[in-house]
Amino acid sequence: MDYSKLFRMDDRKTFVLGSGSGIGRESALALAAQGAVVVCADRDLAGATQTAQLIEAAGGLASVYQLDVLDAEAISVAAQEHSDSETLVFTAATNVRKRLLDYSAEEYERVVSLNMRSSFDLIRAFGATMVERKRGSIIGFSSIRHLVVEPGQGVYAATKAATVQLLRTAAAEFGPSGVRANAIAPGVVETPLTAPIKANPEWYNAYAAKGALGRWAVPSELAGAVVFLASDAASYVTGTVLYVDGGWTAVDGRFDPPRG
């Protein structure tokens, strides 16, 4: 084993959906830095193009692909056009923070369609080509909300739990063909999705205090987990959830008992 190349992704094609900004962009940049040939996919073509330009400016290889994850047929076409992808990373998500009794049917459908149905479609489409080639790694972003919840996060949490179970099932079904599937569960990360929380100092500080590290994450702090799960360093890792939450799910309450 040449451990100096354990995390290298040289010449491996990686399809990163959601690469137009935030965690997806940082994931694409990190994978490219390890030698991967990255397809920067996003509904936001301008954002994906900017990410590809950043990769190329650093000496990496990248292309751009516009894809709306709400279009199941478009996902199928993308998987066929990029059937040589060895890694799929998907980060797209939305949230409507409302209590269950206040949710409308339209809001429910919007969150479920983007967060859960797209995960199902992506895993199936890209998983089929990976199973056929007998290798690949699927990495989907869940959330700590798949495990712990709070008022106003019910539907979002349900979709993130579903994403975990879809990936675990993919791990079981695709594993005999050499395909791995794993979930990453971030804690609180400074992204456009969490902007409403950051705008409220009390809310922002309460979330920062919940984790063991006492602060929020920035998107680049999720990139290492993506590289690990995509690389040969994780060749025997499948069907798991990797928590990158600053200790949020390890800490039970915030009272600090007196010493002595």
Which regions of the chain does DSSP assign to beta strands (E)?
13-17, 37-42, 61-66, 87-90, 136-141, 179-186, 241-244
Cβ atoms of residues 21 and 47 within 8 Å: yes
Catalytic residue numbers read: 156
Angle CA(24)–CA(238)–CA(215) in degrees, nearest 5? Answer: 45
Tell me which residue has tokens 């990495």: 139
Contacting residues for 118 by C-beta, under 8 A, at least 6 apart: 69, 70, 75, 90, 92
Torsion of CA 105, 108, 109, 111, to 10 degrees: 160
Question: What tokens were used for 176?
Answer: 């005999």
